[in-house]
Structure 1
Amino acid sequence: MNNQDNIQQEYIEWEDHFQTTKEKVHLTYNELKIPGLRLFGMLHPLTASAPLRLHIHSSAFEITFVTQGEMAFYTNGKDYTVPGGSAFISYPNEPHSTNQIPLTPKQIYWFQLDISDPENFLFLSPPIARKLIDDLYSIRKHMVNTDNKEITQIMKHIYDQCMGERNSLEIASYIIIFLQRLIYFSQNEVQHRSFDIDLAVSYINKHITEELNLTEIARQSMLSLPQFKQKFKSYTGTSPRNYINIKKIEYSKDLLRNGTSITNTAMQLSFNTSTYFATVFKKYTLLTPSEYVAKCRNKRNASPSSGDSSQ
């Protein structure tokens, strides 16, 4: 699905500034003093976050690693849902954006690598720096599955160093290790799910309009309910109920955009009441269904392809 709900037609060049709060950390080159590392950031969402508009990072890779939950990105006309244990890569000067960030109990880490000067990059010698940059370009995909436990430990170590002693050489060394592992995983894709979790995901997607019962899904997966909950979260990065809600809201947005009423949308997706549907919808989109429908209508009316210049 090509969901451009939060995409502006024109992109901006993004500029991050120093910030440290309980929820978000931005450390720039001014704080880190590591050549080629333009930014290191951490997000620990306490509430759903509004989407970022379409933007670029001039001469810089931006790599985001999601530890748990899901994060939605958009680039080159395509949406990417990045689950826990996966990284999203935006390439230098490539317009990209995010959708709403749902509630998640774990961190999202990201950093920007300025490649404008390979002669002065992560304390590496120029030939090795150029080779590493070429290898990053060679990944040729935006989402890479990794070994969640291993990469989370690397990112946590970088974060702890950034927030503590700030040993520049150690931080740069762990960034390089992360990049080498990312390149490796891009060539040897990690399979996040197992057969039983694949069965669960397939069952959920096939029956997404129904009132899904976790005990029945666990039975379809041939697991006990406690085993199912633990394994599902371990392999997908989110709880079964959160996954179901995300998929239901994605489906509901299609229905609403195509003219289905809010009440009928709630009924088709087996929500008990339209009020409860509206509550869940707003949690994941920051909009009520009515606001979402109005937003879609306004975008259609404002579109140059609408054919009526008087509107």
Structure 2
Amino acid sequence: MDSPINRYDKYIYSKDRIVLTQQELNLPGIRLFAMHNIHNTIFPLIPHYHENAFEFTFISKGSISFHMQESECEVSGGNIFISFPGEVHGTREIPISLNEQYRLQVDISDPKNLLFLNEETAKQLIQDLKSIKRHIISTDIKETRPLLDKAFELALSEGSHLLIAGYLIIFFQLMIAASKEDRYYLTHDIEAAVRFVDDHVTEELSLHTLAGICNLSVSQFKQKFKRIVGISPRNYINKKKINFSKMLLLKDIPVTEVAMQLNFNTSSYFSTVFKKYTTMTPSEYIQAELGDKETE
């Protein structure tokens, strides 16, 4: 397996991805400001790190799974994933599926050159960021998203650098404050539904059953689940089933039997769903995994 790389992104401007680098931004201490609207599953993010820089990934819609060494974080709407300077992270073999996100990289190597702040204030901001103990911060999306929307809009139009810096500083302060709070990512009813899915992943999971657990109608449940978790309940169920299926496939269980165990109607439908979430068919996944193990 290749060693993690110290990643520096390049400028990109496309329909679903805009990446502004330090050269385009000309904003002290901001190495990258990017917006992604991912409408189709794309290939996984290989393990990498950012020397002397924090990276903040704000998910405004959908979800994404990050890996750091032995741990995994599922980040959904309204949450921020933090990779600390020099920390290796990526999505391993999990492709990136439908989501909307902002990414920010903050270079902390020079406190004299950070968002137009004086050195003392910049050092305090850096210290506050370093003191965050968690990788996922839950924020009020109604407060945080407009700040990034306005800052990115200004960055695209080459607007006031001071105003962009102001929006970002407020965003960081809200994030730091949220990191000190004991926030529950899930309400009790939705948490119960999520736990039920996790514990019964091989069964046929109906939305009526899950809605009943939450004492909600199906339409109310679907709306609340997506608002809190960031993806639809059916999307969540499918992701869990596909992740579980990988373990079964690598045990040399036939694809048809795996599909039956996970309550897919047909093996062809299972293969279609599997490819949607992994960019590979079950057979291609098995071949890729066995090939990787042979080269280790």
Q: Distance in 2 between matches of 1:256 and 1:178?
A: 43
Pick one of 100, 113, 120 that aligns with 2:95. 100
Give the alignment's TM-score, normalised by structure 1: 0.91
* 1:258 aligns to 2:251 (yes or no): yes
List aligned pairs for 1:50-89, cutoff 5 A: 50-89=43-82
Give RMSD over aligned pairs: 1.3
* 1:30 aligns to 2:55 (yes or no): no
The Cα shift of 1:165 comes to: 4.3
Aligned partner of 1:226 in structure 2 is 219
Aligned partner of 2:117 in structure 1 is 124
C-alpha contact 2:39 2:97 (8 A) present in aligned 1? no
Moved over 4 A (4+): none
Q: Distance in 2 between matches of 1:240 and 1:25?
A: 29
Aligned partner of 2:268 in structure 1 is 275
The Cα shift of 1:209 comes to: 0.9
Secondary structure of the residue that 1:113 maps to in structure 2?
strand
User: What is the CA deviation profile of residues 208-245 of structure 1, one whole-angstrom value per residue up to 9, with x for unaligned ones?
Assistant: 11111111211121101111111111111111111111
Could you tell which deviates more after superposition, 241-250 or 188-197? 188-197
* 1:189 aligns to 2:182 (yes or no): yes
The Cα shift of 1:257 comes to: 2.3
Pick one of 235, 242, 256 that aligns with 1:242. 235
The Cα shift of 1:30 comes to: 1.1
Q: Distance in 1 between matches of 2:192 and 2:68?
A: 30
Q: Distance in 1 between matches of 2:170 and 2:97?
A: 29
Aligned partner of 1:158 in structure 2 is 151
Q: Distance in 2 between matches of 1:199 and 1:76?
A: 29
C-alpha contact 2:34 2:104 (8 A) present in aligned 1? yes
Aligned partner of 2:102 in structure 1 is 109
User: What is the CA deviation profile of residues 86-140 of structure 1, one whole-angstrom value per residue up to 9, with x for unaligned ones?
Assistant: 1111111222112311123xx2101100111111111001011011101111102
Aligned partner of 2:200 in structure 1 is 207
1:24 to 1:300, Cα distance in 2 relative to 1, 3 A: same
C-alpha contact 2:5 2:47 (8 A) present in aligned 1? yes
Secondary structure of the residue that 2:90 maps to in structure 1?
strand
The Cα shift of 1:272 comes to: 0.6
The Cα shift of 1:64 comes to: 0.4
Q: Distance in 1 between matches of 2:213 and 2:129?
A: 40
Could you tell which deviates more after superposition, 49-58 or 117-126? 49-58
C-alpha contact 1:145 1:189 (8 A) present in aligned 2? no
User: What is the CA deviation profile of residues 168-194 of structure 1, one whole-angstrom value per residue up to 9, with x for unaligned ones?
Assistant: 111111111111111111110332322
The Cα shift of 1:42 comes to: 0.6
What residue ranges of structure 1 are gaps of 5+ in the alignment?
1-7, 304-311
Secondary structure of the residue that 2:98 maps to in structure 1?
coil
C-alpha contact 2:63 2:98 (8 A) present in aligned 1? no
C-alpha contact 1:54 1:95 (8 A) present in aligned 2? yes
Aligned partner of 2:290 in structure 1 is 297
User: What is the CA deviation profile of residues 241-262 of structure 1, one whole-angstrom value per residue up to 9, with x for unaligned ones?
Assistant: 1111111111111212233221
Q: Distance in 1 between matches of 2:67 and 2:163?
A: 33
C-alpha contact 1:146 1:189 (8 A) present in aligned 2? no
User: What is the CA deviation profile of residues 134-160 of structure 1, one whole-angstrom value per residue up to 9, with x for unaligned ones?
Assistant: 111110221112222222222212222
Q: Distance in 1 between matches of 2:209 and 2:124?
A: 51
Q: Percent identity?
A: 44
Pick one of 161, 166, 177 that aligns with 1:173. 166
**Matched positions, count:** 294
What residue ranges of structure 2 are gaps of 5+ in the alignment?
none
Give the alignment's TM-score, normalised by structure 2: 0.95
Secondary structure of the residue that 1:258 maps to in structure 2?
coil
C-alpha contact 1:135 1:183 (8 A) present in aligned 2? yes
